[in-house]
Chain A
Amino acid sequence: VNDDRLETLLRETFRNHEGLADPDRARALVHISPPPTRRWAVVLATAAAVVVMVGVAAYAVGWDRARDQTLPGGTPAPSPTISDQEPPGPTDADYRAMAAAASAETLAKTPVPRGAVRLDGQPRGWPKDYGTSLGPSDGRLTRTAWWSVPMSTDELASFLTSHEPKGLRHSPGEDVINCGNSFGVCDTTYDPIRQSHPEAYGEPTLLVQFTAAGERTVMRADTFTFARPVRPPESYLTAPVTSVGVDRVVPGSQSFRNVRAPHVEITDPDLIDQLVKAVNGLYGHYAFMASCPFAGDPQLSLSLRFHTASGVIRVHGTRVCWDGLTLTRDGQRVGPDLDPDDIDKVVEAVLRKN
């Protein structure tokens, strides 16, 4: 029995047992499932109430002090000197606005064949549940456009293959155009060639999908990007570091069998400097919600403890899917999670030299 026959047999087997799944039962289960528990909402509301109360109290105390200081005969309080202050840095909102602008700009680069007509929205005939995710991306920053193209799908595939917008290129892979799904939709992805502001947002990727619609072809373009949180100054390592403790869980020789690597204490100043630079070079992490499958036990992880005269700064996190690294100072979290980027490779290199 050849592979084709076996593959066909598997497809037939799955299809033949679809009847075990009753769609009405599925919809009923949706309503049986318990409602969401919103404990965090209660916690947030309580925290907000405490903050407001503390703020009001602080304001009242400050107002009383100010009034006392400006009473006749008293010495006026000194005014803050604006010239001594650092200029305000970027905010999360700034980064988000930059990402939104880049998303719109990327959509505008979509290669559109001559004679194509822009549509107001999703036309009839487009598969209802069809969707594709492209790595970490924020749906609120996705920009979408539709066209009706006077070409066959083969002609459009050829057009898209030969047209790469400025600043974008086809994703590397075996096929530029992918048509291997049961929805009858083909797609191609354009990746950014360079990152304009890697500290602020993920350079948008452009996904173009298309399917036949009579003698024409419907084409859809989507952009995918995300905005990073701003990393505050106090999250950078500035104090002299005397040693760095490295603890890791790394892949074992067997699949799904991870092992704890022995603890290593780095004391070489040059190697410490490499680790400090690596951590200081990390950007804020976009918290992409990913439900990732089991990837081993115990979970892959990395922990770096930077020992300084003023305390311990720890950078740690699990290393599965798109998890970020958490930075703490003496146990207190500082700033947003950090995008791990290639820090694993830096740590590997440092450990090899140690």
Chain B
Amino acid sequence: VYRGGVLDSVEVAEIPTYAEIIETTAPGLLRLAVMLTGSREDGEDLLQATLVRMHRHSDRLEVMAAPTAYLRRAMLNEHISASRRRSRRVRATPLSSLLEAQPAADQDGGVEARDEVWRWLATLSPAQRSVLVLRYYEDLPDAEIAAVLGVPSSTVRSHAARGLAALRAHLADHPEVTP
């Protein structure tokens, strides 16, 4: 209650249950997972792996001020760790990923460029791709990206700058693609 510039009571934020938090955030987390992994299947695998880990901490998740930020961080952690594990073994490509419907082309040929960029993103390291996803998809400021990834802000900026430079060079090598 606010009276004449002095607060004489405060309210405690209502705490959602673990199930409510997960149900609400799952669609957004899956979108993030797809952006990080580059495919529907891998994205779903990543979401499920993250949820399995989160089940162990459900009690703590319920009392967090920003569970979405925490879940995002957990997913990044899971993604980078899993990428390292996968890099040590030969990996099969799911057939269904080759059959996914491609987005329809628009008038200015932009889809072709975006598809080329999507393929180019798959060549990046998990850390570098994560920076680009957090910066240009999640719209996070560099300081927050640095906190999420556990690296200095300067590393975030250099990843982003190198990423843009590499993309510029890649597009220069593909003059048939109109950016």
Contact = CB atoms under 8 A, between A and B. Distances in A.
B156 interface: no
Interface string A281-295: 000000001111111
Contacts of B111: 16
B133 A291 contact: no
A307 interface: no
A118 B53 contact: no
Contacts, number: 203
Contact of A129 (B68, B100, B133): B68
Interface in A286-309: 289-295
B10 interface: yes
Given A16-B103, A129-B25, A139 B64 contact: yes
Interface in B18-50: 22-31, 33-35, 39-40, 43-44, 47-48
Interface residues of B, number: 84
B92 interface: no
A83 interface: no
A75 interface: no
Given A12-B110, A32-B48, A7 B136 contact: yes
A108 B10 contact: yes
A354 B60 CA distance: 43
B65 A142 contact: yes
A121 B66 contact: no
A237 interface: no
A173 B118 CA distance: 34
B173 interface: no
B27 A295 contact: no
Contact of A21 (B40, B77, B121): B40
B162 interface: no
A224 B64 CA distance: 10
A119 B65 CA distance: 20
Contacts of B110: 12
B57 A289 contact: yes
Given A20-B100, A37-B56, A180-B139, A139 B81 contact: no
A6 B58 CA distance: 40
Interface string A100-138: 000010011010100011101100000011011110011
Contacts of B121: 13
A112 B7 CA distance: 10
A116 B100 contact: no
B13 A293 contact: no
Nearest to A118: B2
A144 B113 CA distance: 46
Nearest to A33: B51
B107 to A, nearest CB: 14
A194 interface: no
Contact of A29 (B51, B66, B80): B51
Contacts of A12: 110, 114
B90 interface: no
Given A27-B26, A35-B55, A108-B10, A133 B179 contact: no
Contacts of A71: none
Contacts of B34: 17-18, 20-21
Contacts of A27: 23, 26-27
B99 interface: no
Given A23-B30, A26-B30, A139 B63 contact: yes
Contacts of A29: 26, 30, 44, 47-48, 51
B2 A116 contact: yes
A181 interface: yes
B150 interface: yes
A321 B179 contact: no
A140 B2 CA distance: 22
Nearest to B2: A118
10 contacts: A10-B137, A20-B40, A25-B30, A27-B23, A34-B55, A36-B55, A112-B5, A133-B69, A137-B65, A222-B65
Interface of B: 1-2, 5-7, 10-15, 22-31, 33-35, 39-40, 43-44, 47-48, 51-53, 55-58, 60-70, 73-74, 76-78, 80-81, 84, 100, 103, 110-111, 113-114, 117-118, 121, 127, 132-133, 136-137, 139-141, 143, 148-151, 155, 164, 167-168, 171, 179
Given A17-B114, A112-B5, 6 more contacts: A9-B117, A12-B110, A13-B114, A23-B27, A222-B65, A295-B151
